Structure formats: C-alpha cells, structure tokens
Structure 1
Amino acid sequence: MRRWLVGAIVGIVVVLAVVAGLYVLMNSRTYQLQGRLVDRVETDEKVVALTFDDGPTARTPEVLRMLEAAQVPATFYLIGDNLAAHPEYGAAIVAAGHELGNHSYTHRRMVLISGDTVREEIERTDAEIRRAGFQGPITFRPPYGKKLWSLPHYLAEHDRTTVTWDVEPDSAGGASREAIVRDALAQTGPGSIILLHVMHGGESAAAVPEIVDGLRAQGYRFVTVSELLALS
C-alpha cells in the first residue's frame, strides 16, 4: 500500500512537471520546438522594428497619418478576417510603404489544434495579405505569442519565420501613455522588436510619437521586421 502511494505521488509529480514544461514552452517568446523564432536580432547597430498587432480597424487611417508625420516604417501583424472585412485599410498600409505580417485568421490561441487548422488560419490570412497588394516575405506572429507543436511544424516546413518581441510596453493593458513611453525607452536595445496595440486607439497609439522621438534622440533608426531580420 505504501509503495502504491509513493508511485502515485511520483506519477502526479511527473504529470505536473510535464504540464508546467508545456506551459512554459507554449508561452516562450524566445524558443519553439521547430523552425526559426526571432524575438530580437543580435546587432551592434542601433536599429529597432516597430510592430503593431491586430486589425485593421477604423483607426488605421489615423495610425498611418501618425507614422507619416513621424516618417517611420512599421510592420503590421494583421488578423485575416479583419483584413477581409476592411481590404481598403490593408491596401492603404501597403500603399504607405509599410510591411504586413500574418497574425492568423481568427486570432485564436494556436495550441492543441490540428495541422489542418493551422494551415487554414495561416493560408487564408496570407491570401488576404496578397490581395492587399503586399509582395514581400510574410512573417508570422502567433496570437498571444502562444504555440506548441502544430504551428512551429507548419512554419518550419514552409520556411517561415516566427516573430515575437522583446519589448511590449503596453502589456499591462491599463498602462498610461507616460508609463508606455518610459518602459519602451528603458527596455529597447539594438535589434529590439517593439510590440504595441494601437488599432483601437487609446494610450498605446498616443505613446507612439514620444517613443519615436525618444529613441531617435538615443540614436536609433527604425526599420521593418524584414529589414531587421536581414541584419542577422
């Protein structure tokens, strides 16, 4: 009886360890089981990529005007069904000289799903991105940064790069503009990839001009994700 109890406890501990390991893997910004994942680029150059997740939304024209005023290129990780609903916004982003990336079709957590579901999420969004007129390489950013087996396997098989981030100053959700600017300036280093959620306006969008000015004052220049990856 005692031996059975010890075995049961050991089994529970092993299961908990496996679950904990999978949770860490699923949420890692720096590692996946297959393929290439980039959260930042190792470089001595003061270059940084500014990236925006989600959308496009009705705020897109405002975001584009802000970027034009700042003379900054950005990479937009767009959701396929939003892009299908607002193709004119995707086309406007491309016409303004920015880069489009794939952020899945439905913004679902892409873990514990079939390979067919992964393929549909990615390829339907790719089709919308091409329909918007973007001709460059399409990198992929997992919704919520989550991935396990099926997603990395598909991306590796198709020689696609997973792009996460190393700076996310608005991750607290309710962070003020001042806090977002402060954290972005403090956390950014050469080769950083900054993630902001500007498609619904609010403090994140308001922080962008100050982030740009602050980083430029530190000697940084802005590039798209593809341009940043080329440095590696």
Structure 2
Amino acid sequence: MRLPQNSPVKRFALPCIIVCAVILAAAAAYVYSRPWHRGFIVTPMYTLAHTNKTAALTFDDGPSRERTPRLLALLKKYNVTATFFMTGYHIGQYPEIAKAVYRDGHLIGNHSFHHRRLIFKSPSYIGREIDAADALIRNTGQTNVQYFRPPYCKKILLLPLLLKLRGKTLVTGTYDPPSEYKTPYNSTNIANEVLENITPGAIIFLHDGSGDNADAFIDSVERIIQGLRAQGYVFARIDR
C-alpha cells in the first residue's frame, strides 16, 4: 500500500533516519576512542618513541601540599625527571609548589582547570578549561604548554579536534595501576603492578593530587624507581 504524500509517517521518516544515523555515528566514535591508544581525529601519545628500556613517570591532578614536595625530594634523590599533568585549580592553590616542579627540571602538562570530563561539552567550555590552565602553567616559568592529558582520559568528539587546532599533543598513557584506586592504599601492590606490567617506552600513570596516604604514595614511587632501575630501565620526560 502506497502512503499519501502528506502522510505523517513520510514527514517524520527522514528526520528519524538522520537522528538515528547521528546517534550511531556518535556511539561508534565513542567505542572507537575508548582505548588509550586510539582517538577520534588524532592518535594519542600513549607510549614513548624510545624502543630501549625507557619509561616515563607521569603524575596527575596536582600539585598538592601533602604529596608533591615530598615527591620532588624523592625524584631529586634518584636523579629522575618526570612529567606532571596539573590542574589549573590546584596550581592556583599552590603556585609555589608548581614553580618548584618546573625549577627542578620536570615537564608540566595541562590536565584542564577543573578536572571535569570534557565529553559532550561546548567548544567554548573546553577552550576555557584549556586556556585557564595554560595561563597558570606559564606563570611557573614554563612558556610552552604542548601536552594535554584529558581528565579521566575521556577524549571523544570535540576535544581531539580542538587540541589539533591549537597544535597541542593529546596524551594518554600505557599503564595505570588498579591498586592506586583501592582502599586501603597499598604501596607494595601498586609498585608490583607497575613492575610486572611495564614494557619499554611505557608511560606510567600515578597521582600526586591527593592529600591522603602521602607516606604510602612516596613509598610506592620509590619502589617503582628502584624496581625499574633494577630491570635496567632509565626514566625520561615524555618530551625527551
């Protein structure tokens, strides 16, 4: 049976098809972009270019008063340089600690201002999050803010495009120890997970932004440094 030209079914068929196609495309982009090594429009930096035994320690969400100064002392003790993905909010709280990170030879990357998921946000909102954190990072003395790690590593749709247009590098990573998110915080478990799962060129996720469990956090980082060096690894910033 042929439907009349003014049939409601005909009038709404095309819009429904378009909406369904958009939803399916967005879902496909989301699924494709979930792994750390893939991204919509751009391929994230998820490992170092080095093929030798080099690893990068990266620290997210800081700086914090409880963890970051002690972490800097530990890294200096072992002559290790690292990468700190800082939030603008915490730089604003502890500007002198952020400056100390730069003075000690570490790289500072942008981790947004508020550490909110940047999915399904407007271009202007995402831009403000990037720019506000960039400005505070530059106040540390580091003039070039090239690297951006999304909060929670959520990186679909608009964010990769905006980073590409700004000439920034989208960074994820290679290994994030599950025990770092468990309670009680167990430094031995965290270190063992890292030591057992690292391959050459790994970018390791750790977090200095929390004020809790500072002793255990420092112990876990020291165990990781000692253990990887015993395996023949050297450490590098992600830009080296």
Task: Name the TM tier (shorter chain).
Answer: 0.7 to 0.9
Give TM-score, length-normalised by structure 1.
Answer: 0.85
User: 2: CA distance between counterparts of 1:42 and 1:94?
Assistant: 23
Q: Where does residue 194 of structure 1 map in the other structure? A: 204
Q: Please, which runs of 5 or more residues in structure 2 have no aligned partner?
A: 1-16
CA drift of 1:154 comes to 0.6
Q: How many residues align?
A: 219
User: 2: CA distance between counterparts of 1:198 and 1:81?
Assistant: 14
- Residues 76-127 of structure 1 show CA distances to partners (whole Å, capped at 9, x for unaligned) of 0000111112111111111111110000000000000011111110011111
> Does structure 1 retain, via aligned residues, the 8 Å contact 2:175–2:205?
yes
Letter in 1 for 2:229: R
CA drift of 1:176 comes to 1.8
User: 1: CA distance between counterparts of 2:168 and 2:72?
Assistant: 27
Give TM-score, length-normalised by structure 2.
Answer: 0.83
Q: Where does residue 13 of structure 2 map in the other structure? A: none
**CA 186–118 in structure 1, closer or farther in 2 if over 3 Å, else same:** same
Greater Cα offset, 186-195 or 34-43: 34-43
Q: Where does residue 219 of structure 1 map in the other structure? A: 232
Q: Please, which runs of 5 or more residues in structure 1 have no aligned partner?
A: 1-10, 228-232
Q: Where does residue 142 of structure 2 map in the other structure? A: 134
Q: Where does residue 76 of structure 2 map in the other structure? A: 68
Following TM superposition, the consecutive aligned residue runs of length 4 or more in structure 1 with deviations greater than 3 angstroms are 13-23
- Residues 127-183 of structure 1 show CA distances to partners (whole Å, capped at 9, x for unaligned) of 100011113442000000002111101111122111111111145511521111111
> Does structure 2 retain, via aligned residues, the 8 Å contact 1:170–1:196?
no
The two structures, once aligned, show a CA RMSD in angstroms of: 2.5
Larger radius of gyration: 2
> Does structure 2 retain, via aligned residues, the 8 Å contact 1:185–1:215?
yes
User: 1: CA distance between counterparts of 2:57 and 2:158?
Assistant: 28
**CA 125–171 in structure 1, closer or farther in 2 if over 3 Å, else same:** farther
**CA 204–16 in structure 1, closer or farther in 2 if over 3 Å, else same:** farther
User: 1: CA distance between counterparts of 2:179 and 2:25?
Assistant: 27
Task: Identify the match of residue 195 of structure 2 among 185, 199, 206.
Answer: 185
Q: Where does residue 161 of structure 2 map in the other structure? A: 153
Letter in 1 for 2:83: T
Aligned pairs for 1:13-28 within 5 A = 21-28=28-35
User: 2: CA distance between counterparts of 1:55 and 1:196?
Assistant: 11
